[in-house]
Amino acid sequence: MLYIAVLIATAVGIGIVWRGHDWRLGIRVVSGALAAAAALRLVLPQRDAGMLAVRPRLVDVFMLGSVAAALFILATNIPDQPV
């Protein structure tokens, strides 16, 4: 059931972006949720991973970690645009 915590954290991040607050913060929250999902998938046994277990363990960890890193790097490196 820990995947529900990941889902809630991701929804909070998307909500931050949607509400027009700091979009970088929202993307970082989503990135953190995905990184947590990767860590959970790495340590939890198959039967406890729930909806986090989609593919083989290492593929799931690699994909979740890669997307988390990419989102964090993009949110950090995209320059501010003039208004």
Task: Give residue-wise pLDDT tens across range 27-63.
Answer: 999 999 999 999 999 999 999 998 999 999 999 999 9
The model carries a pTM of 0.91
33: which residues sit within 8 A by CB, 6+ positions away? 6, 9, 10, 13
Checking if the pLDDT of 1 tops 90, the result is no
The answer to whether the CB of 34 falls within 8 A of the CB of 68 is: yes
The answer to whether the CB of 63 falls within 8 A of the CB of 26 is: no
pLDDT of residue 83: 66
pLDDT tens for each residue of 61-75: 999 999 999 999 999
